[in-house]
Amino acid sequence: MRNKNLGLKTVALLAAVGLTLTACGGSNATGQSSDPTTAAGSGTPVEGGTFTFAEVTPINNWQTQAARFYEKANVLNSVLDRLTYFDVESGKVVGWIASDFTANKTQTEFTFTIRDGVTFSDGTDLDAKAVQKNLDALGLGIKSAQIQPNVDFAAYKSSEVVDKNKVKVTLKRPDANFLRATSSVTAGLVSPETLKLDNAGQTAIAKIVGSGPFVFESEKADEEVVFTSRDDYAWAPETAANQADAYLEKLVIKYLPEVAHRAGAAQSGQVDLVRGLQPVDEDVLSAGGGQVLAAQGVDLTTNHAAIRIGSGKLNDPKVRQALQVGIDRQALKDTVLSDSYVLAGSILNHQAPGFVDLSAELGYDPEKSKLLLEEAGWKVGTDGIREKDGKKLEITVASSNNSVVIKPAFELIEQQWRQIGVQLVNRAADNSFLTNAMVDDQIEFFGTRQFAYGGLGPVYAPATNNQTLNADKELNDLFTREQAATTEEEHLKLVEEEQRELVLDKALTLVLWDEVQVYGANKDAHIDFTSGTAPIFQGAWKSNG
Amino acid sequence: MGGYIAKRIGQALLVILLAYTAVFLAVQALPNDPVTIFLSADSSADPATIAQMKAYYGYDQPLIVQYLNQLGGLFTGDLGYSLSSGSAVSTRIGEVIGSTLILAGSAFALAIVLAVLLTAAASLSRNNTVRKALLNLPPLMISIPVFWLGLVLLQILAVQLGVMSLFPDGSLLALAVPIIVLAIHLSAPIAQVLIKSVQEVNRQPFVDVLRAKGASESWIFYRHTLKNAAPSALSIAGITVGTLLAGSVITETVFARAGLGQLVLQAVTVQDIPLVQGLVLLTAAAFTVVNLLVDLIHPKLDPRIITAHAGSPRALVV
């Protein structure tokens, strides 16, 4: 018995020592934090140096369309250029590799003028011919390499080289969102030689040839990838602060799967930037002299739970509206999230073109929820959970584990809904459950956020709708009209209408918070982010070079 | 002896074949084929692409054809294609296996050394308190979670003191620390069994005879006790291969190292079934081969295993 106690005491002592030392980590530095929006803008850029960025998971597929996932988009943004760029400040698509672009009145034909003097890193020209081949690959896929078409290019029919600098794209149907889709990281331009490779070749970073500011130098599988700045790079997006080559000399991508180390890595300077900071680590990092940078996902929808009505329990819009106002969003922010997170005002985030602020109607109102549920015929049962026709109001949420906050968020919602007599089964962050749940309309909620370049049509329309899995005729008509809008004014008006329908009238999505990626940065790092939350390494620099 | 070896190798091959069959059947029991499962993570997968990919990777063929094709591939080292990277499963494994072999191999060797040292110190110590403390070390070592120890050491060494990198940068510490973390956990069960069996051997009459002849305690320990106690510890060491692989998943994640453990994690996360299949098979093969080696070394340590027939008075009772 005495021996057992000895062992126990030793464990306890070791644990205490470990925790004390861990705790010290937060308090032994100078205490400096900086405003994320001016991170790159402050001071005069210093030339040179190696910038180390830690992603959360190793990257093995670098084909441009894989950039639908953050870890790939964050790096590919600095390796492949696109035809256009979305400028958050003006809310407009601006020129990049295309110096100019025009559309016909019906939005079925787009002509891109390709900038002069752009070359791929292997020396070949990025001209109209190369662009045409890339557009074909994006719009039609590459069968021989098992690469499928880009979902945002669903309307693509064909393209032709008009002259050395001009490409004309023809669409199958009007698509008001097509231009914005050409600004997506999933539409990166590669050398025509790359397009000829097999699947393994086109997904390997060592073989992909782009025209971006950073060029592949070396890699160590699953540990790091090193890129070198391209000295002759001179074709940054029209609105980029740095119009020349990158200030940095080298860019090193590493991986930090262990979430507990991320704040420490940035604070200690072992990395200059790290993605996937947990809310609990934000204060630790700021207090330790590091920077907490919240990159707003303007290109994405808000974090939301898309509603599927297959189980029959949520058929009645009243029930869905009851759930919408049965969520105390402020409590979510106060307990699970942090100051880096902005509560949702709609299905689009606050900075997205066409955003309409519906937050006044999303206020927490449990009494209204109860009333709506009563009206819909759901009566409180003996265990406090509502019932109707012998069925309990027990509903399930599925989501991937991509977001560090999604599971705790639904845990809190579970508690909140208990108050109105609703039982939530929380399967958030369970990837294996999600595989089937994603296409199962019996599972009531799909917790997610999606890239939405432009309107909501591409996300919610029937052809691509994996959100609600619901073919609602009225909504579908609306989405079709939105995509066919011929003027920007008309388009934005319809996007606004879509938001009202989805969030309020039909309540087919429960909106939670604006999409954001929280990065931790060292005090010497200066960096900005794109509308898709990717770091802009071409404009990044380090105070200490 | 030759018959014994042939029998053991035959058994090992059978185990690997059964493992392959079990993995194949388990994949068939999934609600969908690997391509559909993999693409379901992508919002844009359309049926035509799925069908085309299924045909390309051979998942549209009858089960028996798939079974035999994949089995045939095994003999040529072809484990199929990893859906997440497009490259061959064997290539993906080849890229990182070296890293795991260094980590796991060194940790295993260190674990054996630690276990023997601990046993020697505990057995030879004359101070009662010291001996009791040493005897309590293995339960403590096995109770400390690998990830916790790794996190604490990295927090202290890499973040607080800044003497090592959070990443595998090729430095001695960046390699030594994960090895030590894994070895500590691994050596505990080996030490426990070794200590127990040393205690048992020590109770046997021949040890008293040696003492009566005037042999020193350390001479008895190293020349006689340890040798007699080794077989059972060896068996445990063979079984710890499983712990070693599970441990490397955690160690590789905590220390941001490339390796099989990290690859398993990735493959499962992105639902790359062919890659998972290849890794499970590799694990089964590693497990079988290590236990085959243990079986082959066993008779060297204890010839009775071969010379005695089961049921004879000399047969080893295990």
Q: Which of A58, A199, A436 is nearest residue B266 as measured by Cβ atoms? A: A58
Q: Looking at the structure, do residues B44 and B95 belong to the same domain, yes or no?
A: no
CB contact under 8 A, A60 and B166: no
CB contact under 8 A, B262 and A143: no
Helix (H, G, I), strand (E, B) or coil at A415: helix
Structure tokens at A404: 């560090």
Q: What phi-psi label fits residue A352: left (phi over 0), alpha (psi between -120 and 50 degrees) or beta?
A: beta
Q: Looking at the structure, do residues B15 and B110 belong to the same domain, yes or no?
A: no
What is the average pLDDT across A168-194?
A: 95
Structure tokens at A456: 């909501």
> What CATH number is given to the structural domain containing B260?
1.10.3720.10
Q: Which CATH architecture has domain A18-296+517-542?
A: 3-Layer(aba) Sandwich (3.40)
Helix H or strand E encompassing A424: strand A423-427
Distances (CA, A) of A138 to A180, A189, A299, A456: 14, 9, 19, 20
A33 and A286 Cβ atoms separated by less than 8 Å: yes
CB contact under 8 A, A221 and B96: yes
Q: Looking at the structure, do residues B151 and B6 belong to the same domain, yes or no?
A: no
Q: Which of A22, A224, A450 is nearest residue B155 as measured by Cβ atoms? A: A22
Structure tokens at A134: 């890339």
Q: Looking at the structure, do residues B125 and B216 belong to the same domain, yes or no?
A: yes
ipTM over 0.90: no
CB contact under 8 A, A223 and B258: yes
Domain boundary among B253, B269, B285: B269
User: What domain range includes position B155?
Assistant: 89-269
Q: Looking at the structure, do residues B35 and B174 belong to the same domain, yes or no?
A: no
CB contact under 8 A, B262 and A466: no
Q: Looking at the structure, do residues B181 and B220 belong to the same domain, yes or no?
A: yes
- A257 interaction partners in chain B (CB closer than 8 Å): 253, 256, 262, 265
pLDDT digits (tens, 9 = 90+) for B245-261: 888 888 998 999 999 98
Based on the number of CB atoms within 10 Å of its own CB, is A374 exposed (0-12), middle (13-18) or buried (19 or more)? middle
- Alpha carbon B202 to chain centroid distance? 30
Q: Could you tell me if residue B136 is inside a domain?
A: yes
- Select from A300, A301, A319, A314 the least CA-distant residue to A445: A314
Q: Which of A11, A146, A254 is nearest residue B140 as measured by Cβ atoms? A: A11
- Select from A261, A233, A264 the least CA-distant residue to A246: A233
Q: Looking at the structure, do residues B252 and B176 belong to the same domain, yes or no?
A: yes
Helix H or strand E encompassing A513: strand A509-513
Q: Could you tell me whether strands A214-220 and A386-388 are parallel, antiparallel, or unpaired per DSSP bridges?
A: unpaired
Helix H or strand E encompassing A42: none
Q: Could you tell me if residue B286 is inside a domain?
A: no
Which A residues, 11 through 50, put their C-beta within 8 Å of a C-beta on chain B?
11, 14, 18, 21-22, 24-25, 28
Looking at per-residue pLDDT, the higher value among B145 and A466 belongs to: B145
Domain ranges of chain A: 18-296+517-542, 303-514
Ramachandran angles phi, psi of B76, nearest 5°? -100, 10
Q: What is the C-alpha to C-alpha distance for residues A16 and A21, in angstroms, rounded to an integer?
A: 9
Please give, rounded to a whole number of angstroms, the shortest distance from the CA of A53 to a CA of chain B.
12
Q: Could you tell me if residue B7 is inside a domain?
A: yes
Q: What is the C-alpha to C-alpha distance for residues B12 and B33, in angstroms, rounded to an integer?
A: 30
Q: What pLDDT, on a 0 to 100 scale, did the predictor assign at position B50?
A: 74
CATH (residue range A303-514): 3.10.105.10
Q: Work out how many CB contacts closer than 8 A connect A with B.
A: 155
Q: Which of A21, A57, A438 is nearest residue B266 as measured by Cβ atoms? A: A57
Helix (H, G, I), strand (E, B) or coil at A273: strand
- What is the pLDDT tens value at each position of chain B, 318 positions in all? 678 888 888 988 899 899 889 988 888 887 777 887 777 655 555 666 777 778 888 888 888 888 888 888 888 888 888 888 888 899 999 999 999 999 999 999 999 999 999 999 988 888 889 888 998 899 898 898 889 999 999 999 998 898 999 999 888 999 999 999 999 999 999 999 999 998 888 888 888 888 888 888 888 888 888 888 888 888 888 888 878 888 888 899 899 999 998 898 888 877 788 898 899 889 888 888 888 888 888 888 777 766 655 555 444 444
Determine which of A62, A148, A300 to mutate to test the interface with B (most B C-beta atoms within 10 Å).
A148
Other C-beta atoms lying within 10 Å of the C-beta of residue A442: 14
Q: Looking at the structure, do residues B56 and B157 belong to the same domain, yes or no?
A: no
Q: What pLDDT, on a 0 to 100 scale, did the predictor assign at position B308?
A: 56
Nearest CA in chain B to A150: B44
- B96 interaction partners in chain A (CB closer than 8 Å): 221-222
Nearest CA in chain A to B31: A436
- A431 interaction partners in chain B (CB closer than 8 Å): 269, 271
Q: What pLDDT, on a 0 to 100 scale, did the predictor assign at position A454?
A: 79
Contacts of B316 (CB under 8 A, 6+ apart): B302, B304, B305, B308
Q: Looking at the structure, do residues B152 and B50 belong to the same domain, yes or no?
A: no
- B56 interaction partners in chain A (CB closer than 8 Å): 146
Q: Looking at the structure, do residues B70 and B94 belong to the same domain, yes or no?
A: no
Structure tokens at A88: 């958050």
Q: Could you tell me if residue B52 is inside a domain?
A: yes
Q: Could you tell me if residue B141 is inside a domain?
A: yes
pLDDT digits (tens, 9 = 90+) for A471-504: 788 888 998 899 888 888 999 999 999 999 999 9
- Select from A298, A296, A256, A297 the least CA-distant residue to A277: A256
Q: What pLDDT, on a 0 to 100 scale, did the predictor assign at position A463?
A: 65
HSE, CB side, 13 Å, CA atoms: give it for residue A262.
Answer: 29
Please give, rounded to a whole number of angstroms, the shortest distance from the CA of B35 to a CA of chain A.
12
CB contact under 8 A, B136 and A3: yes
HSE, CB side, 13 Å, CA atoms: give it for residue A15.
Answer: 11
Q: What is the C-alpha to C-alpha distance for residues B58 and B120, in angstroms, rounded to an integer?
A: 57
Q: Could you tell me if residue B315 is inside a domain?
A: no
Q: Looking at the structure, do residues B108 and B163 belong to the same domain, yes or no?
A: yes
- A265 interaction partners in chain B (CB closer than 8 Å): 159, 166
Question: Could you give the number of structural domains in chain B?
Answer: 2
Q: What is the C-alpha to C-alpha distance for residues B140 and A4, in angstroms, rounded to an integer?
A: 10
Ramachandran angles phi, psi of A284, nearest 5°? -60, -45
- A18 interaction partners in chain B (CB closer than 8 Å): 148, 152, 155-156
- B143 interaction partners in chain A (CB closer than 8 Å): 7, 11
Q: Could you tell me whether strands A166-171 and A156-163 are parallel, antiparallel, or unpaired per DSSP bridges?
A: antiparallel
- B164 interaction partners in chain A (CB closer than 8 Å): none
Q: What is the C-alpha to C-alpha distance for residues A304 and A509, in angstroms, rounded to an integer?
A: 6
Please give, rounded to a whole number of angstroms, the shortest distance from the CA of B184 to a CA of chain A.
14
Domain boundary among B254, B269, B284: B269
Q: Looking at the structure, do residues B104 and B182 belong to the same domain, yes or no?
A: yes
Q: What is the C-alpha to C-alpha distance for residues B32 and B298, in angstroms, rounded to an integer?
A: 45
Nearest CA in chain A to B96: A221
Q: What is the C-alpha to C-alpha distance for residues B94 and B281, in angstroms, rounded to an integer?
A: 14
Q: What pLDDT, on a 0 to 100 scale, did the predictor assign at position B110?
A: 95
Q: What is the C-alpha to C-alpha distance for residues A160 and A131, in angstroms, rounded to an integer?
A: 10
CB contact under 8 A, B152 and A261: no
Q: Could you tell me if residue B294 is inside a domain?
A: no
Please, which residues bridge with residue A158 across strands? A170
Looking at per-residue pLDDT, the higher value among A287 and B38 belongs to: A287
pLDDT digits (tens, 9 = 90+) for A356-377: 999 999 999 999 999 999 999 9
Determine which of B27, B36, B40, B44 to mutate to test the interface with A (most A C-beta atoms within 10 Å).
B44
Based on the number of CB atoms within 10 Å of its own CB, is B246 exposed (0-12), middle (13-18) or buried (19 or more)? middle
Q: Which of A147-151, A388-392, B243-247 has maximum average pLDDT?
A: A388-392
Q: Could you tell me if residue B83 is inside a domain?
A: no
